[in-house]
Amino acid sequence: MPPIVSAVSRSRTHTLSKPNQDHIRLLTGLGVEGDAHMGETVKHRSRVARDPSQPNLRQVHLVHAELHDELRAAGFSVSAGEMGENITTRGIDLLGLATGARLHIGAHAVVEVTGLRNPCAQLNEIQKGLMTAVVERDTTGALVRKSGVMGIVLAGGEVRPGDRIRMEVPAGPHRPLEKV
């Protein structure tokens, strides 16, 4: 099965969960039209408090539906958009992408992956223990963040469930994703 969009979500206010939509529109250099995190400069409240002029590397949040599957198997009840993502994907290893990878979504949209989402304690408001469930340690003891990736919009366009996703790997050495 080729990589696809399984759900799209947005929220005009700073809520953790975002309601599913029949489509969203990505705006070049800004993010998701009508979403509280849209803008050239950072919109996440904790980051705005530190420095409101920093560039917004978190315009679009993507989560792999396989994480939802894993969480359900562990006893959690999590659905698309509930963890704050704008685009829920299926069939793509988001966490294994390189920094700068480009995701061509649907007919026109292009999102450049900037890094990993750093999960926060707000996830426990969805269900107790969820924050712990989306982080683990690898064999070297390094922290593994599993709560999706962040990106910026290089080319705008409409995105709908069922849209195909094509990956474009950046030239040069693979730079693993880090938290943004």
DSSP letters, 32-99, are ETT-TT-SSB--SHHHHHH-TTSB-S-SEEEEEHHHHHHHHHTT----TTTTS-SEEEES--GGGPBT
Q: What is the CATH number of the domain that holds 117?
A: 2.40.33.20
**The pLDDT value given to residue 177:** 96
Going by pLDDT thresholds of 50, 70 and 90, the confidence category of residue 45 is confident
Residue 179 inside a domain? The answer is no
What is the mean pLDDT of the segment spanning 56-78? Answer: 97
Q: Report in angstroms the alpha-carbon separations of 159 from 24, 38, 44, 124, 140.
A: 5, 16, 23, 29, 38
Note down the domain range covering 152.
4-168
For the chain, the domain total comes to 1
Strand partners, 27: 31
- In the chain, the percentage of residues whose pLDDT exceeds 70 is 100
Task: Say if 144 falls within a structural domain.
Answer: yes
pLDDT surpasses 90 at 1: no
pLDDT of 68 above 90: yes
pLDDT one-digit tens code per residue, 155-172: 999 999 999 999 999 998
What's the whole-number average pLDDT of the chain? 96
Answer whether 0.85 is exceeded by the pTM: yes
Q: Which two tokens stand for residue 44?
A: 């996440």
